[in-house]
Amino acid sequence: MDLSGIISIAGMSGLYKVVAQTKNGLIVESIVEKKRVPTYSTQRISALEDISIFTTGEDMPLKDILKKISDKLTGGPAIDHKAADDALKTFFAEAVPEYDKERVYISDIRKVINWYNVLQKNDLLKEKASSDDADPEKTKVKIAAEEKAKTYSKPVVKDSMSKPLKTAAPKKTQTTRKTGAA
6-48 CATH, one of 3.90.1150.10, 3.40.50.970, 2.30.30.730, 3.30.70.920: 2.30.30.730
Tell whether pTM > 0.85: no
Among 116, 54, 49, 46, residue whose Cα is nearest residue 81: 116
| Per-residue confidence (pLDDT) for residue 151, from 0 to 100 | 45
pLDDT tens for the chain, residues 1 to 182: 788 899 999 999 899 999 999 998 999 999 999 999 999 989 999 999 999 999 999 999 999 999 999 999 988 889 999 999 999 999 999 999 999 999 999 999 999 999 999 999 998 887 765 444 455 555 555 565 555 454 444 444 444 455 555 555 556 666 666 666 65
Among 50, 13, 49, 47, residue whose Cα is nearest residue 30: 13
Q: Which residues pair with 15 in a beta bridge?
A: 8
Cβ pair 69, 96 in contact under 8 A: yes
SS (H, E, C) 117-163: HHHHHCCCCCCCCCHHHHCHHHHHHHHHHHHHHHHCCCCCCECCCCC
| Per-residue confidence (pLDDT) for residue 118, from 0 to 100 | 93
> Which residues, in sequence order, are CB contacts of 75 under 8 Å at separation 6+?
120, 125
Burial class of residue 173, CB neighbours in 10 A (0-12, 13-18, 19+) = exposed
| Per-residue confidence (pLDDT) for residue 41, from 0 to 100 | 87
Rounded to 5°, the CA angle 115-20-63 comes to 30
Q: Long-range contact list for 148-156, CB < 8 A, 24+ apart?
A: none
**Distance between CA atoms of residues 165 and 135, nearest Å:** 44
Among 103, 107, 115, 106, residue whose Cα is nearest residue 47: 115
Cβ pair 47, 6 in contact under 8 A: yes
- Domain boundaries of the chain, sorted by first residue: 6-48, 51-121
Reported CATH class of domain 51-121: mainly alpha
Report which secondary-structure segment, H or E, holds 8.
strand 6-9
Between the alpha carbon of residue 69 and those of residues 17, 115, 150, the distances in Å are: 22, 11, 46
